[in-house]
Structure 1
Amino acid sequence: MAKLRIAMLMLLVFFLARPVVTQASSEPNFQTVLSKESPTLNSTFTVEIAANLMTDLYAYELNLTYDRSKLEFVSYTAGEGGFNIDALLTNNGVRLAHTELEKKSGKNGDLKLATVTFKALESGDVKIVLSRVKLVDSQLAAVNYTLDASAIAHIVSIDDNNGNNGNNGNNGNNSNNGAEGNGSSIQPTTPSNVNGSTIKPVIRYDAAAQSVQSTVDLESLQKALNQTTANDKGVKKVIIEVESKPGAKEYVQTIPTSAISNDVKKAEIEIVTPLANLTLPDNMLQAGVTSNEQISLHITSVDPKSLQPSVQNQIGNHPVIQVTLTSGGKIITWDNRQAPVTVSIPYVPTAQELLNPEHIVVWYVDSQGKLTSVPSGRYDAKSGRVSFKTTHFSMYAIGYTNKSFKDLESVAWAKNPIEVMASKGIISGVSDTEFRPSQAVTRADFLVLLVRTLELSGKAGDTFADVPSQAYYYEAVGIARALGIAEGSGDNLFKPLEPITREDMMVLTARALKASGQQVTGGDTSVLQPFSDVAKISAYASESVASLVKAGLIHGNGRQIEPKSTTTRAEAAVLMYNIYNL
């Protein structure tokens, strides 16, 4: 807390420091140095900012300008010790700042001020300029400099690299490669080895970018589809098995755009790489996403040390991957809640994590460095992999978190389910330390839990008259109504803020399981006979209650179902936990 107070005080002094009109006789010299002069599209690289002839440097502000359509700011590190101020994105760049925390002399000599990590978004040249610098000494006197210390990154697409690097021994007459940098020509394809439903493409390795690239054509995909059988849902599966290359930090698989642009899901394509496996539904791309005939999936290993310090502290040494879709040399923004992609990452838990493997989680890392739990993330000991589903591509990290609450002693039977589901971000407490397990659950809150746990999606249907559009549960109730889960209580009312009874909880759950495709058998109400209060179950709820009892999702309270009782937060959490582990 003391450090925070000092930091805040220094921030105020830093930004309000009055500039000194006269500058030092020995002007400092600033340099910007790229880690890669020709980074590949979608890769990350760093810019090191250094200065010579520093005198009593206590704090500083750096302003970088660049084309934000071509570069994405990822993170930065600055100084040794002290305090890094959160990066501030501007219209044409980013502003960074660093300050010491204690009363002491500033630093002197030749110094490295910052290392900034960028992601290449678009091929072509992009100029990164250190345009303005403010230096503050230990007496809080400030000097401003207007500069043009710049570096130019020559961002190349995978296609450009293939053309520039020659034939790599794979295609002796690859003369057409020189035109691929315009994003409109077709990636050359060496025939793949197709064995049943498995395709093994020929790889090309770009040693400079540590990138493995491979292409599968439509003919090979169709051949593999013809040699496999559909599952019970009528969906076929093809596996593209990419050869491992020691030292590779990125795998790029190119496939025909049409292969994943169908209206209705009839097939899946699993891309298997050493970094991660991705299973793509053939309806994942919506109409008009790209006009190019080919599309490329990039799976890139990210060094956690390149991320913001606050993110590094949470992720530690856990694996981090970036998943991106490109076509014609440009990144394709993909977001389709109707066609989730399954991702699985090989992972070896630590000894501590193996004691509570259910607390191994997956986080989505956004462009601002914020971590958001991915509810479906889980570790499977048999496969040795962490898997999750996503409806958009971004950066993802494996993590470990053991959330607990201080008021669970009275519900020992629910303690582990509550802690696991809270760690995965599916449920939350009323505060960081309290869960209030005996508190009633409202009808709206229960639907929010159901939609989140089962990751239900759909276009919201007609709204209930008593569900306001600004309510936090509006979307969940709308999805539930569209999927036939929530029918309301008559007169176009849902009564969202009323406590939900146990039998209504089970009715909504049974409908939600059916909507999500879960195989839960219902109809046999004889399984309810052992319960002494079976006669209290409403006629409309009996089959739903029976299906959940038969599936082992509901066990009752001793010999009673208690259908008319109000559902508690603990009971709802246990049910969500049981559903999660179906």
Structure 2
Amino acid sequence: MKITRWISLFAVISLLFTTLFSVHVFAASSSSYSLQPSSSTIIAGDEFTITISGNRLMDLFGYEVNVSYDTGLLQFQGAVNSIGGFAIEPIVQQGKITFAGTKIGQAQGDSGTATLCTLRFKAVASGIADITLTSVKEINSQLMSTTQLSNTATKVTVNSVEISTPNDGVSVSGTTIVKIQDSIAVVNVEANRRSVSIPIREIGELPVSIRTGSLTINIKAELLKALKKQLGNSEGALLEVMFPPVDNINAVETVLKKNKAKVNIVGEVFDVSISLKATNGHQVIAEQVGSNVELIFSYKGNVLDAKLLGIYYINSDLTNWEYIDSIVNAQTETVTATLTHLSQYALVEYNKSFSDIPSTHWAFRTIQILAAKHIVNGVTIEEFNPNKATTRAEFTSLLVRALDLKASSFQGSSFVDVTSDAWYAKDVEAAYTTGLVNGVSKERFMPDAVMTREQMAASILRAFKWKNKQEVQPVNARDTFKDDSGISSWAREDVHMALTTGLMKGKPGNVFQPKSATSRVEAAQAIMNLLTVR
């Protein structure tokens, strides 16, 4: 009996989806069908259902419905079979839906009035949406079928919500506010919202700025173009951006406090995702976003040390929170970071101190700020060792972290004494190819040699020019220091320009000490000057 019923079930499925084989047709059906929307008027952005019911049915054991809908206004979300048994996954192509369901076992078909299925849609734009049941294939318990040409239709009015905003002419779809401002599609979202769906046709080829109470997500047009290319047919597609809060704030603090820093999570931790969803439900998710997404956190500065703020993300193995190069604007009370991939993000006030850099030390504030930016580290968790000499590799790595440089495609070192597996290899290569550092010869870098003060002057000046995209006018300075004659001829002009721009200072007693080793605290101060001098 089981074998017989499975054969029958296979036959039902075949009847529902094939026109390649002839089928038995029972007497012309007198049944009729209706479409009933859950609401005839809805708001753009909301979902609704269409219930398909039959009247004057006779032994309806299975069915196949074919429905057309307006893809410009609606997005199909799914379907539910209502006659029992099971259903086949909906087939959605160019605004047409095919959906089928069947009873199983020894059950008799439905007669009289019955609900066949329910279709679920999401309204994506305002207007009057047409939904039409074009045909129904009916199968009885004897596995005979007939097709009813229906053309039963219903209409759903999709309205936009108008929000009163003084003199700005804002048009709103659902709960998303979209307006074009300075060639940017700006979407304002209520503070309690954690996601937004935007019809891609309302964006066009523009970048998008999604703004909430404490978070702004800026998406470049290049990323949207790439998503549309991946999706294929983007007609009627929705850009879906989600930023729900993450509950594990205590876990974030625990991870960051392992370096014995004082940590303050500012506001909520957000899990940011971006995707483009087609009308048939196919979805393309943005993962590696190639610097095409910018995140801006807002804060209230009266209770925070703004210079210690930064944006952090959880790494791929979910074990550590890592700092992203962040720009703090104390005037607008915002912190901005450019993202290369999407993850969970938090705004953190990170206050790290060292036992050998007391608050009375002349470089205390410099070390505190650079530690918050994760540019400098201690020699241990608790000690900085300010007077220890800085090596050429260590100073180069400081430069790379300060300027957020990355080797575009590291394929090995340009120097024979920098092995590819050395911790500083990529930093040295990035700085060298950018023109910030040179080797001591064409083939050698001498990474473990101390960085002399005149070498640091030359490197910090090159970094200043690169960062500010400007040249520094040469100065004609002679005998500035008592030991001026001890400055190497190749470094003399760089030393004096570093001094005049405020990147470096001399030593007590009117000396520069050009051949002396650069201490860790001097290197930190030079990096701080690089970041602050304009």
Which interval holds the TM-score relative to the shorter structure? Answer: 0.5 to 0.7
Cα displacement string for residues 35-59 of structure 1 (whole angstroms, at most 9, x for unaligned residues): xxxxxxxxxxxxxxxxxxxxxxxxx
SS where residue 172 of structure 1 aligns?
Answer: strand
The answer for unaligned runs of 5 or more in structure 2 is 1-76, 80-94, 96-118, 133-157, 161-167, 255-262, 278-282
TM-aligned CA distance change 1:256 to 1:551, over 3 Å: farther
1:321–1:396 Cα contact (<8 Å) kept: yes
Give the aligned partner of residue 345 of structure 1.
297
Which residue of 241, 244, 247 maps to 1:298?
241
1:271–1:278 Cα contact (<8 Å) kept: yes
Give the aligned partner of residue 332 of structure 1.
286
TM-aligned CA distance change 1:311 to 1:534, over 3 Å: same
Please state if 1:495 is matched with 2:465: no
Give the aligned partner of residue 88 of structure 1.
none
Give the aligned partner of residue 110 of structure 1.
none
Higher radius of gyration, 1 or 2: 2
SS where residue 380 of structure 2 aligns?
Answer: coil
1:240–1:272 Cα contact (<8 Å) kept: no
TM-aligned CA distance change 1:470 to 1:407, over 3 Å: same
The answer for unaligned runs of 5 or more in structure 1 is 1-122, 126-158, 177-187, 191-197, 206-211, 229-237, 261-266
- Separation in 2, partners of 1:168, 1:493: 62
Give the aligned partner of residue 251 of structure 2.
310
- Separation in 1, partners of 2:270, 2:421: 35
Which residue of 128, 145, 148 maps to 1:172?
128
Deviation at 1:505, TM superposition (A): 1.5
- Separation in 1, partners of 2:228, 2:430: 25
TM-aligned CA distance change 1:282 to 1:441, over 3 Å: farther
Cα displacement string for residues 127-181 of structure 1 (whole angstroms, at most 9, x for unaligned residues): xxxxxxxxxxxxxxxxxxxxxxxxxxxxxxxx9xxx94554782322769xxxxx
Which residue of 524, 533, 539 maps to 2:474?
524
- Separation in 2, partners of 1:168, 1:281: 22
TM-aligned CA distance change 1:495 to 1:395, over 3 Å: same
Give the aligned partner of residue 487 of structure 2.
537
Which residue of 393, 396, 401 maps to 1:452?
401
TM-score of the superposed pair, with normalisation by structure 1: 0.54
Amino acid aligned to 1:347: Y
- Separation in 2, partners of 1:390, 1:525: 40
Amino acid aligned to 1:389: T
2:472–2:497 Cα contact (<8 Å) kept: yes
- Separation in 2, partners of 1:578, 1:199: 46
1:444–1:497 Cα contact (<8 Å) kept: yes
Give the aligned partner of residue 357 of structure 1.
306
Deviation at 1:509, TM superposition (A): 2.3
Deviation at 1:378, TM superposition (A): 4.8
Deviation at 1:440, TM superposition (A): 0.8
Cα displacement string for residues 30-86 of structure 1 (whole angstroms, at most 9, x for unaligned residues): xxxxxxxxxxxxxxxxxxxxxxxxxxxxxxxxxxxxxxxxxxxxxxxxxxxxxxxxx
Give the aligned partner of residue 188 of structure 2.
243
TM-aligned CA distance change 1:302 to 1:166, over 3 Å: closer
1:290–1:327 Cα contact (<8 Å) kept: no
Amino acid aligned to 2:295: V
Cα displacement string for residues 116-136 of structure 1 (whole angstroms, at most 9, x for unaligned residues): xxxxxxx999xxxxxxxxxxx
Cα displacement string for residues 260-290 of structure 1 (whole angstroms, at most 9, x for unaligned residues): 8xxxxxx976554434234445556897995
Deviation at 1:437, TM superposition (A): 0.4
2:298–2:333 Cα contact (<8 Å) kept: yes
Give the aligned partner of residue 258 of structure 2.
none
TM-aligned CA distance change 1:240 to 1:460, over 3 Å: same
Aligned-pair identity (%): 25
Amino acid aligned to 2:241: H
Amino acid aligned to 1:277: T
* Mapping 1:58-73, distance limit 5 Å: none
SS where residue 469 of structure 1 aligns?
Answer: coil
TM-aligned CA distance change 1:444 to 1:297, over 3 Å: farther
Give the aligned partner of residue 64 of structure 1.
none
TM-aligned CA distance change 1:531 to 1:250, over 3 Å: farther
SS where residue 247 of structure 1 aligns?
Answer: coil
2:288–2:341 Cα contact (<8 Å) kept: yes
Which residue of 359, 366, 369 maps to 1:417?
366
- Separation in 2, partners of 1:506, 1:271: 43
SS where residue 490 of structure 2 aligns?
Answer: coil
TM-score of the superposed pair, with normalisation by structure 2: 0.59
Deviation at 1:388, TM superposition (A): 2.4
